[in-house]
Structure 1
Amino acid sequence: MENFIVSARKYRPATFETVVGQQHITGTLQNAIKNNQLAQAFLFCGPRGVGKTTCARILAKTINCTNLSAETEACGTCESCVSFQTGHSFNFHELDAASNNSVDDIRSLIEQVRIPPQAGKYKIYIIDEVHMLSANAFNAFLKTLEEPPSYAIFILATTEKHKILPTILSRCQIFDFNRIQVEDIAGHLNKIAVRENITVDGDGLHIIAQKADGGLRDALSMFDQIVSYTNRNVTYKAVIDNLNILDYDYYFKLTDFLCSGDVSQTLLLFNEILNNGFDGNNFINGLASHFRNLLVGKDAQTVQLLEVSETIKQKYLAQSKSADLGFILTALNLANQCDLVYKNSKNQRLQVELSLIKMCHIPSVIQLANQPTATDSDQDKKKTLISSGSRVVGKSESPKIEEQRTENQEVGKSESLKVENASVADLKDFVEREELQDLPDHLDIPLPTKAPEPNRPITLPKPSTGSIKIQPLSTNTIASLIPSLTNLESIAKSDEDKGPKYITGNEKESFTEEQFLDLWKVYTQKAKDADKIHLYTLMNNDPIINGTEITVLVENLALESTLQDEKVDLLNFLRSALKNYDLQIVSKKGENTTKKRIYTNKDKYAYMVEKNPQIEEMRKRFNLDINP
């Protein structure tokens, strides 16, 4: 039985040309050799399995080659190259710093450096995993590394550059190795398969390349494993079975269910995935990556960012055309939120299922948001549907409000409403009287806060023009509507899904400083009445007014946090009262010059000394300390 050599060793590059995916480094080294500009020390750093040690060995062999080719490659036939390849070269020394990391090991290396080469031009010392050296070993190595003999070249290799002393880094030429691209790994595996007469599937090779995460050695190890598993017939199905990877088809099928709003099939498919042994966290991460690929496939300029095979790429392009952009963005946000809270959740399966149910209701929300705007020429009379549970307004066509009351109407019965031609101001008046406060935020109507008088007769002037325009919902607004549509508040309520809503408007009326300060004092009194002590303390100082920018001085982080929490309500109050929606509030760190507040024991002591200086004399006489 022949000795089997793994592909990572059998097909290890022997020349710069055969190095995969590191052309920026191999080209630099070749030019340095060609121009005789070799540094005294090199540092190769980067992830595992990307070719650091391989490039170090190729460089060591090439600089001592006596018969370089025109492309600055080692010939492989001269005495130096042959002795290097057989492991008998006295000019090449390789040290594993993981097991030889003491001061004595470095001193032994330094003693060897003093002996010049007997044959060849240079003596090359490769120190692998150099970050494992102890601090004392690094210090013992510093002087030799800074001023080595002219014939000595050091090549250091590490996966953790941040652990190396800055004094070592400053004495080396640093080369950062990149993760190898998926296409480069797949192409290299295909070349090996051709040489070994192995039948391969392009999609399967891409899966191996993606799973390797930029490391060619990992990819070759997985390739050997799958070749043995499949008896030299590497297929896509065999790869995902052997590497325990979730099939692309699951995600494509799941996205179709989500786009059609099929909750039942979505949950059944997720249950099937769990039964196949896949983890919920890996599933939600894979789903987020799937939505990211769909988003990338939406634009012809970003299609190149799809690191998949050509067959899978066509599937992504086809599904990205059928999927709405708003759906993709909202679903991607929901998947990301689920990933963030997954590990801290006690019921992790429910967390994923809840996110999937929300995703299923995205299309219906988008459909409601994109309903056509009503025009004034519509003759059909339709009632405006205002649902306080879902905060979604149904299709309304030129709202016209007429209210007819009769003097003989019984007390306690609700008045009959007839939707007729009405302006925005009339609708606001109607909302105020009927206490309907659940209009959606995307209607550009500042809602009144004054309580209506009961049983007040209502007379609405006939408006000349006016209509309410329902603007398309943004992605964040869509995400905030989903829990209401699915009636999921009783199960889980996420604060991220519904952020604060600023009142928006177009008024830009001017105001005086006195008007602003009067309103500021009114809000300050409201804070005091509501027992909001921190807010009352913050607003006790007059702000700095610069046009529409209001600067509030804060003394510490606690007050700044209080301002941020109250900022939305304060802005809404000031903007509505002053009828100027350009108002902005910013905070600035500053000291309170009007009153010095007493917080700590030292502040209390300083205050007492200020009132009675003899206290300080007593403290010194009795040698007393102040408790912090």
Structure 2
Amino acid sequence: MSAAPGYQVLARKYRPSGFDDLIGQEAMVRTLKNAFRAGRIPHAWMLTGVRGIGKTTTARILARGLNYQPKEGEGAPTVEFSEEGVHCRAIMEGRHPDVMEMDAASHTGIDDIRDIIDSARYAPTSARYKVYIIDEVHMLSKAAFNGLLKTLEEPPPHVKFIFATTEIRKVPVTVLSRCQRFDLKRVDAAELIAHLNSIAGKEGFEVEAEALRMVARAAEGSVRDALSILDQAVAHGAGRVGADTVHDMLGLADRARIVDLFEEVMKGDTASALAELRLQHERGADPVTVLTDLAEFCHYVTVSKLAPGTAPSSAISETERVRGEALAGTLAVSVLSRAWQILLKGIQEAQLAAHPEQAADMVIVRLCHAANLPTPEEALKALADEQDRPGGGARPAGSGGSGGSAPPPPPQARLVQSGNGGARTRPEPSPQTAAAARAAEVQAGPRLQSFADIVAEGRARRDIRLVNALERFVRPVKVEDGRVEIALDEGALADLPQRLSAALSQWTGQRWVVIVSQASGAQTLREVKQAEDARLMAEAEADPIVQKVLERFPGAEIVAVRSRPEDDDNDDEAGEAPDPSREDE
């Protein structure tokens, strides 16, 4: 009685043997078919992509196409195989003498490459081309790469190279520039599910749709990983693959329970959320996997809210889709974004923690706590409502707005100078007047009637070093047409007056005299800015809404202040123009 043939795993049994069998790589297949038809076949290819995506299989199919020879006749290189050729089976099984496969992870040195270079000089024994397939090519040493360069650039006409790697960034550019590169994409979940379903039908075992979705998600676009997981699930379920089988085998959480957990967290119900997480853990769900699934669902809800119809839905069950869209209609983007950030950080913590289940508990606690916090907009509105209520510090009459309207928001969190005292205000001219003014300025140069005008002109001309010196060390005394009188603070460069005179002459097209005066002069622009900063900070600290915010958030502090636009308008009306430095803001 003969022994039963050995079992062949699904990943090997259903390994593609032609380009038509490859799934998810349509762009690459189209390019290769066109190249072969046109006779534009390169001497080296570089295949890159994640593990299990089909790099080595594609390399063997390429070698088969290069050496394709029908059983009758000579044939020519092709990627369309009407029948099995003379060399096809041996090439696809990795045992053809003219198609040599080398694992660069275990053959990393220059001696291994030297063997390839020496053997490449000899003609193939039976096939049309000698084909060298080097897997994980990024593992070669620097000396090995350098030794390969000359042969790779000008190989003998009967030699082809096919490289495969998962770490394309580690391959030297000198090698990449000598190869035609193809990036193999992760297979879309919908396409992968259809492929798995087809194989299940051929093998005659029953697989639930939810189980296929779970396998596709776990495979992350890798066909080999998907087939290996399906193979294991078939053995685990004794011929029938259900969702519970995949749950137990991979330590996954029930996706419906993930949505339940997400809803509990978004409601801020810490006790119920922790109980749900513990129940899932007791059923075998890995804590890191639960957090990852929560992040994936959070992403789905966010995309569904902002761009309905574009969210990835092939690996999402109908229950997740319906409940996810309902949550998208009720949750604010700021809440979802905050939950995503917490989950992203929490997944890393759980992966590194000695007790991942405890780390996951703390992530859930943070999520529930954050769900109970108001958004910044809600906090400001609540504080404004308190101010408007009787006895709550309502705004004085005449401050603008009607009874129940919210007061203007407090100064925002970025500081900008609001004025320097010496600048002029200019009304907005009509288009005709502005054009005439520009034409006159081109002829006569800019009119600089104040020290602020000089600094503004320097800033407009991007003379940052001169502007910085003028703001820090110069105290303006008097500015007239063609004449500037200044006082210098300690630390100013000795040639600053000469530099300023040369710059002014260049800007205006007329001679300027800069005189260093013994008078004390006015404040430097930096001192003006610091005084304005202090004024704005004092106003912000005295603002009742800001005080309420600081009370509600212990430890918070005012970092910087920006004046309100209406304040700037009032300053203009009063004759105080904004500081020239604001022109760059």
Q: Output the TM-score relative to the length of structure 2.
A: 0.65
Match in the other structure for 1:601: none
CA spacing shift, 1:515–1:322, aligned 2, 3 Å:
same
Match in the other structure for 2:280: 273
Match in the other structure for 2:402: 466
Mapped pair 1:157 → 2:144: no
Q: Distance in 1 between the 2:204 and 2:225 partners? A: 21
Mapped pair 1:424 → 2:395: yes
Q: Deviations over 1:68-108 (max 9, x none)?
A: 79994123433233553565633322222222222222222
Contact 1:423–1:465 (CA under 8 A) maintained in structure 2: no
Q: Distance in 2 between the 1:350 and 1:70 partners? A: 60
- Post-superposition offset of 1:260: 4.3
Aligned residue runs from structure 1 range 95-110, under 5 A = 95-110=102-117
Aligned residue runs from structure 1 range 159-198, under 5 A = 159-198=166-205
Mapped pair 1:19 → 2:22: yes
Specify every segment of 5 or more residues in structure 1 that has no aligned partner in the other structure, as ranges: 374-391, 401-416, 427-461, 478-499, 518-523, 525-536, 551-564, 589-628
The amino acid across from 1:54 in the alignment is T
The amino acid across from 1:41 in the alignment is A
Contact 2:388–2:395 (CA under 8 A) maintained in structure 1: no
- Post-superposition offset of 1:180: 1.8
Q: Secondary structure at the match of 1:356?
A: helix
Q: Secondary structure at the match of 2:87?
A: helix
Match in the other structure for 1:233: 240
The amino acid across from 2:340 in the alignment is L
Match in the other structure for 1:351: 362
Q: Secondary structure at the match of 1:183?
A: helix
Mapped pair 1:502 → 2:405: no
Q: Distance in 2 between the 1:354 and 1:88 partners? A: 58
The amino acid across from 2:66 in the alignment is I
CA spacing shift, 1:291–1:466, aligned 2, 3 Å:
same
CA spacing shift, 1:584–1:6, aligned 2, 3 Å:
farther
Aligned residue runs from structure 1 range 71-150, under 5 A = 72-85=79-92, 89-150=96-157
CA spacing shift, 1:311–1:218, aligned 2, 3 Å:
same
- Post-superposition offset of 1:368: 10
Q: CA RMSD in A?
A: 4.6
Q: Distance in 1 between the 2:362 and 2:394 partners? A: 45
Q: Deviations over 1:430-476 (max 9, x none)?
A: xxxxxxxxxxxxxxxxxxxxxxxxxxxxxxxx999732424999xxx
Match in the other structure for 1:380: none
Q: Distance in 2 between the 1:89 and 1:65 partners? A: 13
**Bigger RCO of structures 1 and 2 (CA < 8 A, at least 6 apart):** 2
CA spacing shift, 1:586–1:149, aligned 2, 3 Å:
farther
Match in the other structure for 1:50: 53
The amino acid across from 1:424 in the alignment is R
Aligned residue runs from structure 1 range 211-250, under 5 A = 211-250=218-257
- Post-superposition offset of 1:509: 8.8
CA spacing shift, 1:84–1:186, aligned 2, 3 Å:
same
Q: Distance in 2 between the 1:465 and 1:143 partners? A: 79
Match in the other structure for 1:61: 64
The amino acid across from 1:249 in the alignment is A
Contact 1:206–1:308 (CA under 8 A) maintained in structure 2: yes
Q: Distance in 2 between the 1:463 and 1:124 partners? A: 83
- Post-superposition offset of 1:194: 0.6
Mapped pair 1:38 → 2:41: yes
Match in the other structure for 1:202: 209
The amino acid across from 2:55 in the alignment is K
- Post-superposition offset of 1:203: 1.5
- Post-superposition offset of 1:236: 1.2
Match in the other structure for 1:561: none
Contact 1:297–1:320 (CA under 8 A) maintained in structure 2: no
Identity within the alignment, %: 28
Q: Secondary structure at the match of 2:200?
A: helix
- Post-superposition offset of 1:155: 0.8
CA spacing shift, 1:329–1:567, aligned 2, 3 Å:
closer
Q: Distance in 1 between the 2:412 and 2:377 partners? A: 20
Mapped pair 1:2 → 2:5: yes
Contact 1:50–1:214 (CA under 8 A) maintained in structure 2: yes
Contact 2:192–2:216 (CA under 8 A) maintained in structure 1: yes
Q: Deviations over 1:38-91 (max 9, x none)?
A: 111111122111111101100111122134799941234332335535656333
CA spacing shift, 1:86–1:214, aligned 2, 3 Å:
closer
- Post-superposition offset of 1:212: 1.1
CA spacing shift, 1:394–1:139, aligned 2, 3 Å:
closer
Contact 1:297–1:316 (CA under 8 A) maintained in structure 2: no
- Post-superposition offset of 1:162: 2.1
Contact 1:263–1:360 (CA under 8 A) maintained in structure 2: no
CA spacing shift, 1:90–1:352, aligned 2, 3 Å:
closer
Match in the other structure for 1:492: none
Q: Distance in 2 between the 1:569 and 1:48 partners? A: 50
Match in the other structure for 1:527: none
The amino acid across from 1:203 in the alignment is E
Equivalenced residue count is: 451
Contact 2:90–2:96 (CA under 8 A) maintained in structure 1: yes
Q: Distance in 2 between the 1:345 and 1:574 partners? A: 49
Q: Larger helix proportion, structure 1 or 2?
A: 2
Q: Distance in 2 between the 1:352 and 1:343 partners? A: 12
The amino acid across from 1:62 in the alignment is G
Contact 2:59–2:162 (CA under 8 A) maintained in structure 1: yes
Aligned residue runs from structure 1 range 393-542, under 5 A = 393=383, 399=389, 424-426=395-397, 466-470=402-406, 502=413, 512-513=422-423, 542=525
Specify every segment of 5 or more residues in structure 2 that has no aligned partner in the other structure, as ranges: 424-449, 456-471, 473-490, 492-522, 534-555, 573-577
Q: Secondary structure at the match of 1:211?
A: helix
Q: Distance in 2 between the 1:352 and 1:87 partners? A: 49
Q: Distance in 2 between the 1:44 and 1:463 partners? A: 69
Q: Distance in 1 between the 2:352 and 2:56 partners? A: 41
Aligned residue runs from structure 1 range 250-329, under 5 A = 250-276=257-283, 278=285, 280-298=287-305, 301-320=308-327, 323-326=330-333, 327-329=335-337
Q: Secondary structure at the match of 2:405?
A: coil
Q: Distance in 1 between the 2:113 and 2:47 partners? A: 19
- Post-superposition offset of 1:273: 3.4
Mapped pair 1:331 → 2:267: no
